[in-house]
Structure 1
Amino acid sequence: MRIPLEESLPLFPKIVGSVDGLVCLDISPCYASDFAMWNPGTKQIKRLPLPLITSSRDNPIWMVFHGFGFDSFNNDYKLVRIVSFRGNDASPFLRVEVYSLREAVWKEIEERFELALLCGGQDGVVVDGSLNWAAIGLQGFADRKVVISFDMGREVFKTIPLPPVTRYGNVKVVSYMGLLAVAVYPLVFAANGNNMNRFEFWVQGDCEDGMKRWSNMVVVENFSKSLVPVGTWGDRELVFKHVGVRDRENQSSLFLFDPVDHTTKRLPVDFVDICFQGFSYVESLVSVSRRS
């Protein structure tokens, strides 16, 4: 699909998120510093104002994480940008800003989450009005995998500990049946030989005592390192991509897996590569210039 921007882009745009027919694009060459809101159904596109937090010679940006979702409490669509600077003591220093589509402005927020290093390559996943990122804990959560969750309505963060099995595996945060879930799968390379050789799928649900707890739905031993989870289809089936070399017997690079009945389906798609990411999209008439 052709993105109807008047100016040429230095690189292919990156999808930040897709909600209610609106697709948020990162169109910057680096540091997630330029965004556009696009509705492919109406062919509307709007370039957003530049973010407030920028890189400088004295304080260069180290990494940037982002997410896009709908704030049902304020009837607003929001883009969250988490900017990490490397501090003098080698620990990351974080600043956070939020763009409101309704107000058409960026604002920096003072709310901070407990110190953690977000895992690269993963955008925020929307679950029940919050954006969620996988992270590696520091200080009080040292050497533990956690989820950093941002409540889009109250604009506050919280840290969610993960099951201990995640220590030696990759973690992919997904939405499953409206609940927060994580897929844990083998690392391709692991330091000191520490690695898990299985796939596990955990879902966080409400218990009778009102607390949220993780439950293990799936364990697959001797799991292939060439299969990588990329999201969910219909909020029900897990989507995997095959990152190994394809052969005549494996023409498809995408697979669907149902965690309930453990059935697997291949999707006849032959253009998927290691950079493939999946997003949900539905057509809508929501305006890219949505205001109060």
Structure 2
Amino acid sequence: MHVKHDYVRRTNCFIAQFIVTQAGEREPELLWFGDCDKSNTIHDYYTLQDSIASYNHICGPCYGIYYSWSDSTRYGYERNSCYGIPRCLWNPALNEIKELPPMITKPNLSSNLTYHREFCGFGFDPVTVDYKVVAIKGYKILSNEPYTKTNYLDYPLSIMIYSLRTDSWRYLQDLSKSYYVRQNSCYNFVNRSFYWLGSYIEFTYKSDVIIAIDLATEECQEIGLPEARIKGSMTYDEEYSERLMVYNDSIALVALYDNYKFDIWTLTGRIWSKELTVKLDCWVKKPLGHYYVDNNLLLFDVGPNYGLILCDLDTEDSWQIKVMTITGSGFCETVSAYMESLVPLNDRDFWKERDKGLSFV
């Protein structure tokens, strides 16, 4: 009963993060669309800013809980130590933040390597009744030399898992090889698994694989992408031409080409199916992937200072566009539905109740 808003089905409110400086600084904003009563939301823009001022990435919501971290490795350096960048769980309804313990090192990590970059996911394990954070870590050679592609991409990525019930990190496994993993632009947790796009080449429009981790079994899969999708350098911003999203309770790929057309592919098992092809009547910069189920709307970013648009997938003849008014500057990088929860993050006794046979979801 602690969930106030079901994930994207009943909420017209979401959190958007905008890149506001050339240095990559981000600021979050609460945004509404449609006929939404803002007075029902207890947090305003300033509260949101104050709550997560030290964290510039948001992942969620998972039953009203968010994971947030500071990606200081984005430009090839660490803000603190190799493992000490800020990470937390955040409950905006209770205005509560739980700082996570420092990241552990991979067992038998070579002395000439250090962590470099971090790609994260967050979800709920219904088997153990536990919230889990998944961190995919890359490596670089430990030296004072500037970052290059060769000293990062040559090493397989490692998977670390954090458990809220045990409040600890542990090493899971290495991937089969190194990938350039993309941070998700929306929340991609469905059917117990979290998903990321990966590619063999850094900063490219073309993705080569989907990395999927089942939080209940902790099984990792590397899934191929549909070969029949549009290929080639055909969008204004190549790096953002493909995005993952949750569509009709399945993980889906939205592929944008020539900035006016896009395809939606859904994955069942390991089989891809093209759901639809859409031709827009206006130019868009990139798909954000955030999908409103009841309204059948898909969110796009038009570009710095121009706003966001919603594509109505039901109006097949004209593809109706709804323009969203935003107060942020720069371009939108991620979006998350706004949800509320009464699950406390720092009360250890709460998690002991699970052993009495109680369920909180």
**Equivalent position of 1:271 in the other structure:** 328
Q: Which runs of 5+ in 1 are unaligned?
A: 187-195, 247-252
Give the distance between the partners of 2:152 and 2:324, measured in 1 at CA: 48
Look up the match of 1:182: 253
Q: Are the equivalent residues in 2 in contact too, given 1:242–1:254 (CA < 8 A)?
A: yes
1:59 aligns with 2:113: yes
Q: Which deviates more from structure 2 when the two are superposed, residues 48-57 or residues 152-161? A: 48-57
The answer to whether residue 261 in structure 2 is matched with residue 199 in structure 1 is yes
Contact 1:205–1:215 (Cα < 8 Å) also in 2: no
Contact 2:252 2:267 in 1 (8 A): no
Letter in 1 for 2:337: S
Matching residue's letter, 1:106:
W
Q: Compared with structure 1, are the counterparts of its residues 93 and 177 closer, same or farther at alpha carbon in structure 2 (3 Å cutoff)?
A: same
Aligned to 1:35: 87
Give per-residue Cα distances to partners, 1:66-89, cap 9 Å, x unaligned: 111112232211100111114779
In the alignment, is the contact (CA less than 8 A) between 1:171 and 1:182 conserved in 2? yes
**Distance between the aligned counterparts of 2:71 and 2:280, measured in 1?**
41
Aligned position for 1:249: none
Structure 2 distance, partners of 1:62, 1:245, is 31
- Structure 2 Cα separation of the partners of residues 16 and 211 of structure 1: 25
Distance 1:90 1:146, change over 3 A: closer
Instruction: Determine whether 1:44 maps to 2:96.
Output: yes
Contact kept? 2:157, 2:178, Cα under 8 Å: no
Residue 37 (structure 1) shift: 1.3
Structure 2, unmatched stretches of 5+, are 1-45, 79-83, 142-150, 233-237, 353-361
Amino acid at match of 2:266: Q
In the alignment, does 2:79 pair up with 1:16? no
**Bigger Cα displacement from structure 2, 20-29 vs 114-123:** 114-123
Aligned length, in residue pairs? 266
CA contact (8 A) 2:208 2:225 kept: yes
Q: 1:136 to 1:27 in 2, by over 3 A?
A: closer
Q: Aligned equivalents of 2:117 and 2:55: distance in 1?
A: 19
Match of 2:182 in 1: 120
State the distance in 1 between where 2:254 and 2:196 align: 13
Partner in structure 1 of residue 128 of structure 2:
74
Summarize the alignment of residues 123-138 of structure 1 with structure 2, pairs less than 5 Å apart: 125-137=188-200
Aligned residues of 2:88 and 2:100 also touching (Cα < 8 A):
yes
Higher relative contact order (CA 8 A, sep 6+): 2
**Equivalent position of 1:291 in the other structure:** 351
1:133-282 equivalences under 5 Å are 133-137=196-200, 145-164=208-227, 165=229, 167-168=231-232, 170-186=241-257, 199-206=261-268, 212-220=271-279, 224=283, 226-235=284-293, 236-244=296-304, 246=306, 253-261=307-315, 262-282=319-339
Partner of 1:190: none
Offset from partner CA, 1:126-168 (integer Å, 9 cap, x none): 1221110011158xxxx76221111111111112221222543
Tell me which stretches of 4 or more aligned residues in structure 1 moved more than 4 Å: 3-6, 54-57, 86-90
Aligned position for 1:192 = none
Question: CA separation in 1, counterparts of 2:88 and 2:120?
Answer: 14
Q: Deviations over 1:38-96 (max 9, x none)?
A: 11111122111111038998213232111111122322111001111147795232111
Instruction: Report the secondary structure of 1:93's partner residue.
Output: coil
Q: Which letter maps to 1:203?
A: W
Instruction: Give the counterpart of 1:95 among 158, 162, 170.
Output: 158
Contact 2:292 2:298 in 1 (8 A): no
Q: Which moved more, 1:175-184 or 1:60-69?
A: 60-69
Q: What is the RMSD computed on CA atoms of the aligned residues?
A: 3.3
2:60 corresponds to which letter in structure 1? G
| Distance in structure 1 (CA, Å) of the matches to 2:50 and 2:218 | 31
Identity %: 22
Question: Distance in 2 between the 1:177 and 1:257 partners?
Answer: 16
Q: Can you list the C-alpha shifts for 1:100-120, whole angstroms capped at 9, x where unaligned?
A: 11221111112x444351333
Partner of 1:26: 69
